[in-house]
Chains A and B, each alone.
Chain A
Amino acid sequence: MDAIYAEKLTKKYGDNEVLKEVNLRIEEGEFYALMGPNGSGKTTLASIMASVRSPTSGKIEIYGRKPEKAKELIGYVPQENFSSPILTGKENLMYFAGLLGYSRNKAERIVNELLNKIGLSEDANKRVSVYSGGMRKRLEVATALFPGMKILILDEPTTGLDPSARRKFLGLIEELRGEKTTILLITHIGADAELASRVGLIDKGEIIAEDEPERLKKASGLSNVINIETTIKSEKVANVLNNFSVKQKVLETDVGYRVYCKDVGKVTPKIVRSLDAIGCKATKIETEKPSLEDVFFKLTEKMVREVS
Chain B
Amino acid sequence: MGQITATLDKTIKEFLRQKTILFWTIAWPILWVLIGSFSYVGNASEEVIPYIRGSITISMMAFALMTAGMANLPGNIAEDRERGLLSKLMSMPIKPWRDFVGRILALLAFSSLAAILVALVGYICGARFSYTMIGGWQSIGFLLLISFASAGIGMLIGTFIKHVHGAIMTGVGMAVITAAVSGVMAPYSTLPSLLQHFARIYPISSANSSITYLLVGEDYAGYDPLSASQTTLTIVISLLLFVAGLITYSRFCWRKE
Q: Which A residues form the contact surface with B (CB < 8 A)?
A: 13, 47, 50-54, 71-72, 74, 76-82, 84, 86-87, 91, 94-104, 107, 143
Which of B3, B83, B84 lies in contact with A99, CB distance below 8 A?
A: B3
Q: Which residues of B contact A47 (CB under 8 A)?
A: 87
Interface centre among B1, B5, B10, B256 (most CB of A within 10 A): B1
Please measure, in the bound complex, the distance between the C-alpha atom of A107 and the C-alpha atom of B1, giving whole angstroms: 8
Smallest Cβ distance from A289 to chain B, in angstroms? 36
- Total interface residues on B, using CB and 8 Å? 26
Please measure, in the bound complex, the distance between the C-alpha atom of A104 and the C-alpha atom of B5, giving whole angstroms: 11
Evaluate contact between A98 and B88: CB separation under 8 angstroms: no
Evaluate contact between A98 and B2: CB separation under 8 angstroms: yes
A53 and B88 in contact, given A82-B83, A86-B14, A103-B1 (Cβ under 8 angstroms): no
Q: Which residues of A contact B18 (CB under 8 A)?
A: 86
Q: For the complex, would chain B's binding face be called helix, strand, loop or mixed by DSSP majority?
A: helix
Please measure, in the bound complex, the distance between the C-alpha atom of A96 and the C-alpha atom of B7, giving whole angstroms: 9
Please measure, in the bound complex, the distance between the C-alpha atom of A13 and the C-alpha atom of B256, giving whole angstroms: 13
Smallest Cβ distance from B17 to chain A, in angstroms? 5
Evaluate contact between B257 and A53: CB separation under 8 angstroms: yes
Evaluate contact between A84 and B84: CB separation under 8 angstroms: no
Please measure, in the bound complex, the distance between the C-alpha atom of A53 and the C-alpha atom of B257, giving whole angstroms: 5
At the interface, yes or no: B90 with Cβ under 8 Å from chain A? yes
Query: What are 30 contact pairs spanning A and B, CB under 8 A?
Result: A51-B91, A52-B90, A52-B257, A53-B257, A72-B93, A76-B87, A76-B88, A76-B92, A80-B83, A80-B87, A81-B84, A82-B83, A82-B88, A86-B13, A86-B14, A86-B18, A87-B14, A91-B13, A95-B7, A95-B10, A98-B1, A99-B3, A99-B6, A100-B92, A100-B93, A101-B1, A101-B3, A102-B1, A103-B1, A104-B1
List B242-257 residues whose CB lies under 8 Å from chain A.
Answer: 256-257
Contact bitstring B16-50, A, C-beta under 8 A = 1, else 0: 01100000000000000000000000000000000
Interface centre among B3, B90, B93 (most CB of A within 10 A): B93
Smallest Cβ distance from A102 to chain B, in angstroms? 6
Q: Which residues of B contact A52 (CB under 8 A)?
A: 87, 90-91, 256-257
Nearest to B3 among chain A residues (CB) is: A99
Q: Which residues of A contact B89 (CB under 8 A)?
A: 99
Which of B83, B85, B91 lies in contact with A71, CB distance below 8 A?
A: B91
Evaluate contact between B88 and A143: CB separation under 8 angstroms: yes
Q: Which residues of B contact A84 (CB under 8 A)?
A: 10, 14, 85
Smallest Cβ distance from B14 to chain A, in angstroms? 6
At the interface, yes or no: B133 with Cβ under 8 Å from chain A? no
Smallest Cβ distance from B9 to chain A, in angstroms? 7
At the interface, yes or no: B94 with Cβ under 8 Å from chain A? yes
Evaluate contact between B10 and A91: CB separation under 8 angstroms: yes
List B72-112 residues whose CB lies under 8 Å from chain A.
Answer: 82-85, 87-94
Not counting A50-B87, A81-B84, A84-B14, a sample of 14 additional A-B residue pairs whose C-beta atoms are within 8 angstroms of each other reads A51-B90, A71-B93, A74-B91, A76-B91, A77-B88, A78-B87, A78-B88, A79-B84, A80-B83, A82-B84, A87-B10, A96-B6, A99-B3, A100-B94
**Top 10 A-B pairs, shortest CB-CB distance:** A98-B6, A80-B84, A76-B91, A50-B91, A71-B93, A82-B84, A98-B1, A78-B84, A82-B85, A95-B10
Q: Which residues of B contact A98 (CB under 8 A)?
A: 1-3, 5-7, 9
Nearest to A95 among chain B residues (CB) is: B10
Q: Which residues of B contact A104 (CB under 8 A)?
A: 1
Q: Which residues of B contact A80 (CB under 8 A)?
A: 82-84, 87
Please measure, in the bound complex, the distance between the C-alpha atom of A101 and the C-alpha atom of B82, giving whole angstroms: 25
Please measure, in the bound complex, the distance between the C-alpha atom of A97 and the C-alpha atom of B94, giving whole angstroms: 12
Q: Which residues of B contact A96 (CB under 8 A)?
A: 6, 92
Evaluate contact between B2 and A101: CB separation under 8 angstroms: yes
Evaluate contact between B3 and A71: CB separation under 8 angstroms: no
A99 and B90 in contact, given A54-B256, A82-B85, A84-B10 (Cβ under 8 angstroms): no
Interface centre among B7, B14, B83, B88 (most CB of A within 10 A): B88
Smallest Cβ distance from B201 to chain A, in angstroms? 38
Please measure, in the bound complex, the distance between the C-alpha atom of A84 and the C-alpha atom of B89, giving whole angstroms: 13
Smallest Cβ distance from B195 to chain A, in angstroms? 39
Smallest Cβ distance from A198 to chain B, in angstroms? 23
Please measure, in the bound complex, the distance between the C-alpha atom of A104 and the C-alpha atom of B84, giving whole angstroms: 26
Smallest Cβ distance from A164 to chain B, in angstroms? 24
Nearest to B4 among chain A residues (CB) is: A98
Q: Which residues of A contact B5 (CB under 8 A)?
A: 98
Evaluate contact between A97 and B1: CB separation under 8 angstroms: yes
